[in-house]
Structure 1
Amino acid sequence: MRNEAVNRVKLVFTLFDADGNGVLESDDFDLMSSRVAAAVPGADEAPKQAMRAGFTRYWDTLAGELDTDQDGRITYDEYQACVLSPERFSGAIDQFAAGFARLGDLDGSGSVTRPVFTGMLRGVGFDLPNIQALFEALRPDDADRIGVDAWETEIRNFYAPDKAGIPADLLAAAPAS
C-alpha cells in the first residue's frame, strides 16, 4: 500500500470516528451523515437519503467484513487491515462517492459551488485549508464551481490503495496555513 494511501486511511478513520471514542460504530456513520446533511440545508430530501444510504452501506460493509466478533465496533487495526481492498469495498465506495458528491449539486447543473463543497467537507471534519486546496485542484470554472463527476471520481481515488499524487491527497496533507 502506498504511503499516501496509508495517510488517507489514518485520516478517514479519525474522521469517521465521529464521537471520538477510538473505534468505529454505526452511530458514528449516522452522526457523520447528519452533519453533512446539515451542511447542505438547501438539498432536496432524495439526495440527502442517497448520501445517508452511502454512509450506511459503507458501515454495513465494514461491519460485515471486519467485525468478526460482532461487537458492533471496528478498531483502527481492523480498519487498516483491509479497508483499502478494492475487491471488498468497491461497491460501497462507489455508492458512497455518488451519494456524497451528488448531494452538493443543488440545482441539478452537474456542478457544486465552493460554499457547498466547503460546508460538506467541513461537516465531515476536514481542515479548511485542505478543503480549499482540493477545490482549487479540481479546477473550478469561472463561476467557482466544480464538476460533480470530477468530485465523485476524486472521492473514489481517495480510497484507492494504488493512487498517489492525486488531488485528494491534499485532504490528508498537513494543513496549510
Structure 2
Amino acid sequence: MKQVLQHRIDSTFAHYDVNRNGVIELADIYALANRLLQAYGEPASSERGRDLVEAYDRFWEMLADHCDTDRDGRIGPDEYRAAMIEAFVEGGPINMDFLEVVQSLLVLMDTNGDGRVDAAEFGVLLKARGLSVEECATAFLHLDTDGDGAISVQEYVAAVRDYYTNPAEDTPGSWLYPKALQRA
C-alpha cells in the first residue's frame, strides 16, 4: 500500500520536473502552465491565460514554501516526497493556493464558458498529462462522482487527495495521471 502511494508521489514529481533535470524549479511550473495554455489554445496574454499563469505562480510559491526545505529555489525528489506525505498522506491541510490553482485550471478548461467542465473539456487536460482518449473517458466517469456530467472544484480536489491517500485502483484520484506512470 505505502509503495503505491510513494510511487504516485514520485510520478507527480516526474510530471512537474518538465525539463527532467532532477529538480522542480519555477521554470518547470511555467512550462506546465504553458503546456496547458497551448492544449486549450489560450494565449498567456488573455484574461484566462493571465489568471492561470498567476495561479501557477502561487502554486510555485506554495510548493517552494512547503517543499524547498533548504531554500535553494529547487525542490528535489526527497523534499517533494516528504512534503506530499505530510500534506496528503498524513492528512495535513491543503493550502488555499492549491484551491485557487484548481479554480483557475477549471476556468481555463471551461472552453465553452458554460460554467461547467464537461468530459471533452476535461479530456484536454488529461491528454496533456499523457492519458489516451479511452483513459480520458474512463477517468471522467470516475472523477464526476455526483454524475452531473461535469467536474467541480470539489470533485477535483477530492480526487487529488484520493490520489495521494488511497492506493486502490479505479478510484477517482487514481485516474488523474496515466496508469503506466503509476505502475512503472
User: Paired residue for 1:61?
Assistant: 62
Match of 1:173 in 2: 179
CA deviation profile, 1:87-146 (whole Å, cap 9, x unmatched): 4642232122211122111233232243332222333x2322543321132359xxx952
Q: Counterparts of 2:152 and 2:115 in 1: how far apart (Å)?
A: 5
Amino acid at match of 1:31: A
Q: TM-score, normalising length from structure 2? A: 0.74
> Please, which moves more after superposition, 96-105 or 12-21?
96-105
63 and 108 in structure 1: CA distance in 2 versus 1, 3 angstrom threshold = same
- Asked whether the equivalents of residues 112 and 148 of structure 1 are also in contact (C-alpha less than 8 Å), the reply is yes
Please state how far the C-alpha of 1:78 moved relative to its aligned partner.
Answer: 0.7
- Quick one: distance in 1 between partners of 2:157 and 2:70? 34
Is 2:139 aligned against 1:134?
Answer: yes
- The match for 1:7 is 7
In structure 2, the residue matched to 1:110 is: 115
CA distance in 2, matches of 1:65, 1:81: 10
Q: Structure 1 residue 62: deviation in Å?
A: 1.8
Structure 1 SS opposite 2:23: coil
Q: CA deviation at 1:22?
A: 1.4
Whole-Å separation in 1 of the counterparts to 2:121 and 2:79:
33
Q: Distance in 2 between matches of 1:77 and 1:36?
A: 27
Assess if the C-alpha contact under 8 Å between 1:105 and 1:148 holds in 2: no
Counterpart in 1 of 2:74? 73
Identify the residue that residue 97 of structure 1 maps to in structure 2: 102
**CA shift for structure 1 position 18:** 0.8
Percent of paired sites with the same residue: 23
Residue 125 of structure 2 corresponds to residue 120 of structure 1: yes
The one-letter code sitting in structure 2 at the alignment partner of 1:103 is L
- In the alignment, the residues of structure 2 paired with residue 30 and residue 53 of structure 1 have an alpha-carbon distance, to the nearest angstrom, of 10
Where do 5+ consecutive residues of structure 2 fail to align?
A: none
Greater RCO structure (CA 8 Å; 6+ sep): 1
The count of corresponding residues between Structure 1 and Structure 2 is 172
SS for the counterpart of 1:112 is coil
Q: Distance in 1 between matches of 2:144 and 2:61?
A: 34
Normalised by the size of structure 1, how large is the TM-score? Answer: 0.77
For residues 144 and 84 of structure 2, the distance between their equivalents in structure 1, rounded to whole angstroms, comes to 29
Are the aligned partners of 1:94 and 1:156 in contact in 2 as well (CA < 8 Å)?
no
- SS of 1:147's equivalent? coil
* Aligned with 1:157 (options 158, 161, 184): 161
Paired with 2:47 and 2:16, the residues of 1 have a C-alpha distance of 23
User: Structure 1 pair 16/95, CA: closer, same or farther in 2 (3 Å)?
Assistant: same
